[in-house]
Amino acid sequence: MGRRRTIGFVLFDQALALNLNGPAEAFSVANHVLSQVDGGYDLVFLSEAGGLVRTSCGLSVDTQSLESIDPSALDTLIVVGGLNAWAFTADAPLVQWICKVSKTARRTCSICNGAFLLAAAGLLDGHRAVTHWCEVERLRARHPNVLVELDPIYLQDGAIWTSAGMTAGIDLALALIEDDHGRRVSLRVAKELVVFLHRPGGQAQFSSALDAQTRLGTAPPVARLADLPTWIMNNLNSDLSVDGLAKVVGMSPRTFARNFARWHGGTPASLVQELRVEAACRHLENGDTDIKRIADICGFGDEERMRRAFMRRLSIPPSAYRERFGHPIPAAQRKVPRAAIDGFREAAVGPA
């Protein structure tokens, strides 16, 4: 039997229950999968004073105090998010404890806005990190030395792992399990959890079109901008230059660029590229259309431009995205015999 690893979950008042429950169940399922072949995980739930910690949904979790645990026994530290996590400062006892224990733990992780506690401890300075998308700007403002990224589901930078919001904690847990025991075990855990098998850190947190449309909550300076993301999605092969988009909304290029910047906060070119990548992702997920053809359909012009766009936004090429997220092709449409596909799958993952 292999050695067991102790995972310490750090909670505080009004912690997010989903940040805890999902990842904890992933490690629990891993214990079941590993029971006959290798070591597993011991889970401990920690808070500053110990006792019951009330989560944001009202569920209470029984915890151990920080003083009751030998820090050297912790293999991995996972700080969950919670209401007002951003308010923790460097002099908070919980933050100081995290800073101390991170020096002996093999990995220190955060889920959702638990990143604020790692940042307050100075652990994220100079590191790439991710948090819930709606907390990105606040994290950047409060901790300018942190290299905060918007898109990834999770990130590893050395011994520091951070994840996006809510269910992204499950993706982080699966990645940690894969780091410890390999892809075959993590896929079996994901299968038992009935989750997507399984999102790599590079997959975007949310839809670019949805993000653009939700900015309408602050009202675009010109109402005609409201329909622009949808129009772009439906016309990816049109002239999507500033001049072309300005004609669509009936403005001069100068007026359009000024109003777009006020509303969207970025450039028209960046939105166009995001929407093209998003459309290409859907094609890669939902069929076996040739990648060169997808590049043409989505307006990239050629396959190499699409590859560069994917690397910039998702850090993986289109071929790898399809491999990880592509849906099975119906038998009648397969270009490879089923036996060959099953043989490859069993060799890579193991018997179902």
Mean pLDDT (whole number) for 96-108: 97
Q: Which of 219, 226, 313, 221 is nearest to 275 (CA)?
A: 313
Is the confidence at residue 221, as pLDDT, over 90?
no
Q: What is the DSSP string of 232-283?
A: HHT-TTS--SHHHHHHHHT--HHHHHHHHHHHHSS-HHHHHHHHHHHHHHHH
What per-residue confidence (pLDDT) applies to 194?
66
Mean pLDDT computed over 76-102: 97
**Residue 196 to residue 177: CA distance in whole angstroms:** 15
Residue 112's region, left for phi above 0, alpha for psi from -120 to 50, else beta, is left
Tokens 């820090």 belong to 71
- Domain 5-193 of CATH type 3.40.50.880: yes
Closest alpha carbon to 312 in 297, 323, 300, 327 = 300
* pLDDT on residue 347: 36
Domain boundaries defined on the chain: 5-193, 208-325
What's the whole-number mean pLDDT along residues 239-268?
A: 89
The model's confidence at residue 83, banded by pLDDT at 50, 70 and 90, is very high
Mean pLDDT of 32-37: 83
Please state, in angstroms and rounded to a whole number, the distance separating the CA atoms of residues 266 and 262. Answer: 9
The CA distance from 272 to 136, in Å, is: 22
Confidence of residue 41 (pLDDT cuts 50, 70, 90): very high
**Full strand arrangement of the beta sheet holding 51-54:** 51-54, 60-65, 41-47, 5-10, 76-79, 107-110, 160-163, 154-157
**pLDDT recorded at residue 205:** 52
pLDDT of residue 216: 41
Structure confidence by residue, pLDDT tens digits, 292-328: 999 999 999 999 999 999 998 888 899 988 887 776 5
Per DSSP, 157 falls in state E
> pLDDT tens digits for 197-210?
444 444 455 455 54
For helices 268-286 and 242-249, angle between their N-to-C axes, nearest 10 degrees: 90
- Which value, to the nearest 10 degrees, does the dihedral of the CA atoms of residues 166, 167, 171, 177 take? 90
DSSP state of 82: B
**What are 47-51's contacts with CB under 8 Å, separation 24+?**
47/10, 47/11, 47/12, 48/12, 48/93, 48/94, 48/97
Cα(101)–Cα(78) distance, integer angstroms: 11
Please state, as a whole number, how many other Cβ atoms lie within 10 Å of the Cβ of residue 188. 21
76 or 350, higher pLDDT = 76
Let me know if domain 208-325 sits in CATH 3.30.410.10.
Answer: no
**How far is the C-alpha of 169 from the C-alpha of 51, rounded, in Å?**
24
pLDDT, mean of residues 279-302: 90
pTM above 0.95, yes or no: no
Specify the length of the chain in residues.
Answer: 352
Pick from 292, 283, 274: nearest CA to 327: 283
The Cα–Cα gap between 104 and 75 comes to 8
